[in-house]
Homo-oligomer: A and B are copies of this chain.
Amino acid sequence: MMATSGLKVEPTHMHTFTVRTSSRCEFVDITPEVANIVSESGAASGTITVYCPHTTAGITINENADPDVLGDMTMILELLFGEDDIDYRHMEGNSDSHVKSSLTGASETVIIEEGRLVLGTWQSIYFAEYDGPRSRKVHVKVIKG
């Protein structure tokens, strides 16, 4: 935010990092990368927006303790939206990936307090891959306040 009359408030910059996925559908824990960006930003208080610039993937927050939770999520999304039983028209064979992307959402916004991400005990931030394996980007933006 710019202050008036010559006073300058430094904007924070967007950060981008790469995620390499190894399956068609996969949840990659990106909490460490996001936490590092929070630390380096020096923000004591604010929010952070974690953004996926791809249309066959998304960002979600879920349990990090039992990997079966993420496996179950992959399974049920495939069961409901998978290509096999549905007469999709899009010829690339990844209409299910686009639908999963919109339902998951392109971003998550997390609160920063006392210089740290405020996540629940069992929460991690995941890159949700729905049309991998690919090399993907994640954009992250800290808003201080």
Chain B residues positioned under 8 Å from A143 (CB to CB): 1, 46-47, 143, 145
Question: At the interface, is chain A mostly helix, strand, loop or mixed?
Answer: mixed
Number of copies: 3
Range, interface on chain A: 35 or more
Q: Which segment, of A18-26, A32-40, A80-88, faces chain B? A: A80-88
**CB pair A68 B89 closer than 8 Å:** yes
CB pair B10–A7 under 8 Å, yes or no, is no
The answer to whether B61 touches A89, judged by C-beta atoms less than 8 angstroms apart, is no
Q: Which residues of A contact B (CB under 8 A)?
A: 1-5, 7-14, 44-47, 49, 51-55, 60-63, 66, 68-69, 71-73, 75-77, 79-81, 86-92, 95-96, 98-99, 101-111, 113, 118-123, 137, 139, 141-145
